[in-house]
Amino acid sequence: MRLLVINPNTTQAMTDEIGHAARAVAAPTTEIDCTSPTGGPRSIEGFADETIAAYHTLETVARTQGQYDGYVIACFGDPGLYACREVSNVPVVGIAEAAMHTACLVAHRWSIVTVIPRVEPFIAEAVHRAGLWDKCASIRCTPLSVLEIEQDIERTKRLIVDYARMAIDEDGAEAILLGCAGLGPIDKVMQEALGVPVLDGVACAVTMIEGLHAYGLNTSKTKAFLTPEPKELVNCPDALTAAYVRKQESDV
């Protein structure tokens, strides 16, 4: 299958790493492109960041329709996920939801270890959207900002180990979800250090969307994710306008 992995922020180094993580786990028959939107914030750390990134991610999905068999939204917060499902004729999977659903198969309860505290309500919303709040032992926020993650990777590892250990010892977590796509590269090192499953959502999303493809499943176009009603968009990019004039379909 052909897969477009979208890093919703506009930091190219992070896009490169996400592409690397995606390819590492993908089946030989899966071709992966990885890209950022043409606009938006350098990192996503709150609701305003998310709102702007969701808009640009939606434009990316609309603009590339017909070129891919599936999309992965590679920000732990799944910005624009439901909107993208509306405009896409092929499956769209978010890395937060994929990590959470996968974690449920290897752990009774799990925690998310992530960046600065202000992202907590934003990530909590993704957990609720996935319907998995009761499986989430905790969301542990470190003092790291998104862009600091790779500036001092040893400090990053130390902080993730410390906060993950608190999640395991105090909150009852049996697996750790890395709550930022930028943390993906350290997944196996962390798993080694912690002795519990450690999940990067990018890897989970790639394997799950491969599963959808293998089994022939596509987004249901019956209610929540119906193609947008045809209507005029004022001052919007051509790709979005085009997505709104496509005839509504309800194929499986």
For a second copy, the closer CB: 154 or 229: 229
- Judge whether 150 and 182 are in contact, CB under 8 Å: yes
* Smallest gap from residue 92 Cβ to a second copy (A): 9
Task: Write down the least CB distance from residue 225 to a second copy, Å.
Answer: 7
Q: Toward a second copy, which CB reaches closer, 33 or 207?
A: 207
SS3 (DSSP) at 136: strand
Q: Which is nearer to a second copy, 62 or 159 (CB)?
A: 62
The total number of residues written for the chain in this structure? 252
Tell me whether residue 79 or residue 156 sits nearer to a second copy (CB atom): 79
Q: H-type helices in 45-182, by residue range?
A: 47-63, 81-87, 95-103, 120-130, 153-171
Strand ranges (DSSP E) for 184-224? 198-200
CA 23/CA 231 separation, integer angstroms: 38
Least distance in angstroms from the C-beta of 27 to a second copy: 7
Compute the least distance from the CB of residue 62 to a second copy, in Å: 9
Considering the complex, what minimum distance in angstroms separates the CB of residue 153 from a second copy? 21
Which residue number, 48 or 153, has a Cβ lying nearer to a second copy?
48
CA angle 238, 243, 244 (to 5 degrees): 100
Q: Is 241 exposed, middle or buried (0-12, 13-18, 19+ CB in 10 A)?
A: middle
